[in-house]
Amino acid sequence: MRTGVGLGCRDGVEAAGKPDWGGRHLAEQAEANDGYVSLPALLARNAKKFGASPAYREKEFGVWQTWTWLETAEEIRAMALGFLSLGMEKGDYVAIIGRNRPALYWSIVAVQSVGAIPVPLYQDAVADEMAHVLDNCGARFVVVGDQEQVDKVLEVQDRVHDIAHMVYLDPRGLRKYDHSRLHSMQDIQAEGRAAHERFEVDLAARIDALTYDDTCIMMYTSGTTGRPKGVVLSNRNVIETSKNTSEFDHLRSTDDTLAYLPMAWAGDFVFSIGQAYWTGFCVNCPESADTMMTDLREIGPTYYFAPPRVFETQLTNVMIRMEDAGRFKQWLFRVFMAHAKRVGPDILDGKRVSFWDNFKYKLGDLFIYGPLKNTLGFTRVRVGYTAGEAIGPEIFDFYRSIGISLKQLYGQTEACVFVTQQPDGEVRPDTVGVPSPGVELKISDDGEVFYRSPGVFVEYFKNPDSTADTKDAEGWVATGDAGFIEADTGHLRIIDRAKDVGKLHDGRMFAPKYVENKLKFYPNILEAVVFGSDRAFCTAFINIDLTAVGNWAERNNIAYASYQELAGHPEVYRMIREHVEEVNVSVAADEMLSGCQIHRFLILHKELDADDGELTRTRKVRRRFVEEKFGDLLTALYDGSSEQYTETEVTYEDGRKGKITATLEICDAAVQGGERMAAE
């Protein structure tokens, strides 16, 4: 267990005495090239330029601990030297698995310094998924966070390409393990420091040898449709993209961000390393996944990033707590939120509003919005993004109306994340913005979105067929999403996954995501999967949100013993049916998509889970898989039965399997304009 507070201070001073461990020469070379060609080069620049400003913070033992850029550079140097003494070679693949911690971020750059290629993996992946990725990239080294990850890697090591060494951060529980090929990071760093005379020159030479077109990192796609593919990104991809987008949003070296999204996700890499190294801002790591909300409040990031799911959860929590508040507070909340909804977005965009509206908004800020933002940890947010999936307009507007500059971003791992983003002042819930700097867009004849940019990936690892399918000779990449560019504004609008958009029997358009997002706006609905392609009408699987529905059940004296029982409760069904019918009314209003109204639905007896393969690790629904797995339920939705018995295999967190059985009720929902449909 690490005991030192502010570890690395002494070493940082030491490093200050001799700052040119290859860095100076390198910086000169890079300046001559009018740019920095690798992340280690940027690190050397930052150590010089921002030396004493914070680069990383992590909450440990209840106290925020800080590492400056100078200290960070020293830590990374020690790691890189340690890796050299372990025998890491240029071109080796190094898997990195664990929760967001400074030392893991450092290990990425240390691996690059040596000339090897970092491959971050999803830490919550079950052993089987991990085996696929480890084997696919042929990882020779693995850097992990703790015992849990060590165990998983040991479990699959027979099935994968030879792993030479494994390095862990947290020694807890690992004392009795065989340490012939297992090392603690502290030991590796100490070894690196001790061996610096032997390897210093070699390390400097290796950093110098890095070119703009060398591989920077390999990220695995989340795999909505099949096995994850390794996306190879070059230094050019990462640095150009980080530079362009940092300038687009005027990021500053004094900004703070909270790193809590999976390290294996391209977004986290580009924000917490790419942009952070380019701009020199500080990356803050929470104490543990459970303390994320508290840590968010304590740090108060100025640059914040979250998938829609996080914003949904936060909003749900606010609403639940408001329901428990006194009547006066509820009234105050209602009045001011209504006002914010009306004028808030305009004020945020700098548009003029009447004096009285402005005054009332300021009052609201004093009583409601300010304290609310403080509770949520959003007081200081200057640039906020949501991406990964479409966000419900109501959720989006809620945050913007209370003065949080939340914008949308559309991207892909293959593009180094950024494809389009919304400029300040042009933010709307229904578009994903204009092309990011350097990105060209085109829409193919069948409506699919293509892009070309400096961020476009090099290739899929060991998969030329897929590479050719996705990227053409001119560098245009297919997104797999259907969309169109608005003629007057130039904003891109995404309709749905191109593969998911289909037609109903009668030829009307079917876009499941559109309806699902409307459903998911209701705090009580966590996830929805809508079916209807090549069928006569649409149906849906619904997942209830246990927090919201549980709270509602408590207030209404509805007793339940388990998720399954609550999900099947008639009162819950009645409530969900009301939601579905409201959505139908709103869907019916859209001329083009009025066929997507939900005729029948059921509430699933289990939460869709990535461990069961129903969601990707980034929590997107794997539609085809769900369709197959719950085939019996889907059939029942269409054959008119009123209930269906089903058995489902579930995987527990430790990888064991179990089976749950249930008889699910199937419920009909009223649809709008039914007669018109019948007449057609």
Partner 1 sequence: MNDMSPDGYTTADGRKIGKVLMEMKNITLRFGGVIAIKDISFDIREGEIRAIIGPNGAGKSSMLNVISGFYHPQEGQVYYRGEVRPSLRPYQVAQQGIARTFQNIALFEGMSVLDNIMTGRLTHMKAGMVAQAIWRGKAEKEEFENRQKVEEVIDFLEIQNIRKTPVARLPYGLKKRVELARALAAEPQLLLLDEPMAGMNVEEKEDMSRFILDVNDEFGTTITLIEHDMGVVMDLSDRVVVMDYGKNIGDGTPDEIRNNQAVIDAYLGVAHD
Question: Shortest gap between Cβ of 48 and partner 1 (angstroms)?
Answer: 34
Q: Rounded to 5 degrees, what angle do the CA atoms 437, 443, 444 make? A: 140
Question: Shortest gap between Cβ of 70 and partner 1 (angstroms)?
Answer: 26
* CB of 212 or CB of 560, closer to partner 1: 560
Question: Shortest gap between Cβ of 186 and partner 1 (angstroms)?
Answer: 16
182-184, strands of its sheet edge to edge: 117-121, 93-97, 141-144, 165-168, 182-184
Pairing mode, if any, of strands 63-68 and 54-60?
antiparallel
Binding site for partner 1 (CB under 8 A): 1, 3, 59-63, 172-173, 175-176, 287-288, 290-291, 294, 654
Q: How far apart are CA 453 and CA 414, in angstroms?
A: 10
Q: Rounded to 5 degrees, what angle do the CA atoms 86, 207, 256 make? A: 95
* CB of 290 or CB of 446, closer to partner 1: 290
CA distances in angstroms from 274 to 148, 344, 381, 547, 670, listed in the order given: 28, 33, 20, 36, 50
* CB of 57 or CB of 407, closer to partner 1: 57
Taking only Cα atoms into account, the Rg of the chain, rounded to an integer number of angstroms, comes to 26
Question: Shortest gap between Cβ of 170 and partner 1 (angstroms)?
Answer: 10
Q: What is the phi/psi pair of residue 334, to 5°?
A: -60, -50
* CB of 17 or CB of 62, closer to partner 1: 62
Q: Are 412 and 438 in contact (CB under 8 A)?
A: no
* CB of 62 or CB of 640, closer to partner 1: 62
Q: How far apart are CA 377 and CA 381, in angstroms?
A: 8
Q: How far apart are CA 196 and CA 78, in angstroms?
A: 8
Question: Shortest gap between Cβ of 173 and partner 1 (angstroms)?
Answer: 5
Question: Shortest gap between Cβ of 547 and partner 1 (angstroms)?
Answer: 15
Q: How far apart are CA 637 and CA 628, in angstroms?
A: 14
* CB of 559 or CB of 679, closer to partner 1: 559
Residues 6+ apart with CB under 8 A from 570: 665
Question: Shortest gap between Cβ of 675 and partner 1 (angstroms)?
Answer: 52
* CB of 146 or CB of 614, closer to partner 1: 146
CA distances in angstroms from 110 to 115, 137, 170, listed in the order given: 9, 19, 18
Q: What is the phi/psi pair of residue 9, to 5°?
A: -60, -45
* CB of 287 or CB of 643, closer to partner 1: 287
Question: Shortest gap between Cβ of 296 and partner 1 (angstroms)?
Answer: 12
